[in-house]
Amino acid sequence: MELVAHLDDRILFAVPKKGRLAEACNKLLLGSDIKFRRSNRLDIALSTNLPIALVFLPAADIPVFVGEGRCSLGITGIDQVMESNVKVDDLLDLQFGSCKLQVQVPANGTIKDTKELIGKTIVTSFTHLTKEYFRKLEGKQENEELATKIKYVGGSVEAAVALGVGDAIVDLVESGETMRAAGLTAIDTVLDTSARLISSVHNNRNAELVDLIRKRIQGVVASNQFVLCNYNIKRSLLPVALKITPGRRAATVSPLDEDGWVAVSSMVERKRVAEVMDRLTAEGAEDILVIGLDNCRV
């Protein structure tokens, strides 16, 4: 990390160093044409085509390095941003890493309402968010002591109840498989979270480059959400077809040589492609083609 002192001509971009979030970030950087080579022994990689230095950090540390340090940009979960309680600009929802921070209790236990946990011991690695949650639940002010005991555990939070450390936990849930394997069930959601692109509110070095990176990443995110749908249809049927494919802002309609026919090109949500094609076919559209997007600007 001592290399940071020699990077005054580059903006620092903090990204997760391991896990599924890191894998998704690497794909995002590749799609944004941010090229870099990373040595196995270094947590800093210099971009080979932009004046950027990527700093690989634990996801939980990234908000602090962006909010209070020299990093201009970062990618981490909004849960980590809110847990750190530092001020950063939330630039973009990256549409991956979605999960829920939930209150979990023994599935075979008697507790069904979170109010029943007041005065008990809650184990979590999100102590700030958990305290805020129970502060509201107890109706306490900032300076008042909570009746509920919040205990920090850095890992294996889901084992805390079974091992007798706490009465309930507050932890992230993605598929719920780990929660169920630990004999737990969720009774409330503290926060819905996903990965975000964040920026510093005080480090304004090279604002143009920061905005360029944001636009590139936004284009990659949009290309993962949308596909391009092209089809031909009779002009008389066009009003109905455009209700099916209105486009992100508007569809592109072009006349064809064959009288009374038009070609339509429209961005469609990837998750709705099959449904849209079925509806277009039913309304008389022909030559329906769906084209995947590698990148775009929207």
Burial label, 95 (beta-carbon count in 10 A; 0-12, 13-18, 19+) = middle
Tell whether 221 is covered by a domain. no
Q: Are 284 and 234 in contact (CB under 8 A)?
A: yes
User: Domain span at residue 153?
Assistant: 99-193
For residue 148, give both structure tokens.
Answer: 């509920």
Strands (E) located in 146-183: 149-152, 168-173
Whether residue 235 is found in the same domain as residue 175 = no
Domain C-terminal end among 158, 175, 205: 205
**Domain containing 60 — which CATH number?**
3.40.190.10
Residues 199 and 72 in one domain: yes
Are 66 and 199 found together in one domain? Answer: yes
Neighbours of 11 (CB within 10 A): 23
Q: Number of folded domains in the chain?
A: 3
Do 200 and 233 lie in one domain? The reply is: no
148 belongs to a structural domain: yes
Same structural domain, 200 and 184: no
Q: Which of 168, 193, 218 is the last residue of a domain?
A: 193
- The answer to whether residue 137 sits within a structural domain is yes
Phi, psi of 289, deg, nearest 5: -125, 135
Tens digit of each residue's pLDDT, the chain (298 residues)? 455 555 667 899 999 998 888 999 999 999 999 999 887 778 899 999 999 999 999 999 999 999 999 999 999 999 999 999 999 999 999 999 999 999 999 999 899 999 999 999 999 999 999 999 999 999 998 889 999 999 999 888 999 999 999 999 999 998 888 899 999 999 999 999 999 999 999 877 788 999 999 999 999 999 999 999 999 999 999 999 999 999 988 999 999 998 899 999 999 999 999 999 999 999 999 999 999 988 888 7
**In this structure, is residue 66 part of a structural domain?**
yes
**Predicted structure pTM score:** 0.84
